[in-house]
C-alpha cells in the first residue's frame, strides 16, 4: 500500500494528539461507560460533519480529514489547557478513535469498519 505524504503526516499528528490525551484520558475512557458513550456520540457527529460538510470527503483517507479537523479544533480553541473530559478533550478522543478505525480508508467506508456479526 502506498502511503502519501499527507497520510504519514496526519498519522503522526494523530499519534501526537493521542499521546497528549495521555494514559489518564484513555484509562478514563476505558473505565467510564458514560464517557465512552459521549465519545461515540462525538465520533458520529464528527463523521457526519466531515462526510456531509466537506466536498469529496468520501474519496480522501479518513486520517487526513480527521487530522485537519482536529488541528482546526485546537487552532480555534478558547481553552489553552484542555482536559480529556472537557468538550474539546472528548471531541479530540473521538477524532483519534475514528482515525484509528478508518486510517487511510474514506469515512464513507463505514460498513467495512464495523465488525461482522455472526
pLDDT at position 112 is: 40
Q: What is the DSSP string of 14-66?
A: HHHHHHHHHHHHHHHHHH-HHHHHHHHHHHHHHHHHHHHHSTTGGGS-HHHHH
Domain membership of residue 5 (yes or no) is: no
Domain membership of residue 11 (yes or no) is: no
Domain membership of residue 88 (yes or no) is: yes
pLDDT tens for 3-15 read: 577 889 999 999 9
Domain membership of residue 51 (yes or no) is: yes
Statement: residue 33 has pLDDT above 90 = yes
Domain membership of residue 16 (yes or no) is: no
If one counts the domains in the chain, the total is: 1
Domain membership of residue 13 (yes or no) is: no
Percentage above 90 pLDDT, the chain = 48
Domain membership of residue 113 (yes or no) is: no
Domain membership of residue 40 (yes or no) is: yes
Q: For residue 35, what are the domain limits? A: 24-107
Amino acid at each position: 500500500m502506498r502511503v502519501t505524504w499527507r497520510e504519514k503526516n496526519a498519522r503522526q499528528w494523530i499519534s501526537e494528539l493521542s499521546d497528549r490525551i495521555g494514559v489518564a484520558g484513555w484509562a478514563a475512557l476505558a473505565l467510564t461507560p458514560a464517557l465512552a458513550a459521549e465519545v461515540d456520540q462525538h465520533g458520529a457527529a464528527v463523521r457526519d460533519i466531515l462526510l456531509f460538510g466537506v466536498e469529496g470527503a468520501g474519496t480522501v483517507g479518513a486520517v487526513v480529514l480527521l487530522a485537519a479537523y482536529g488541528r482546526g479544533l485546537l487552532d480555534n480553541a478558547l481553552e489553552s489547557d484542555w482536559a480529556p473530559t472537557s468538550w474539546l478533550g472528548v471531541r479530540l478522543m473521538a477524532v483519534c478513535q475514528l482515525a484509528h478505525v478508518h486510517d487511510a480508508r474514506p469515512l464513507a467506508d463505514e460498513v467495512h469498519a464495523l465488525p461482522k456479526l455472526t
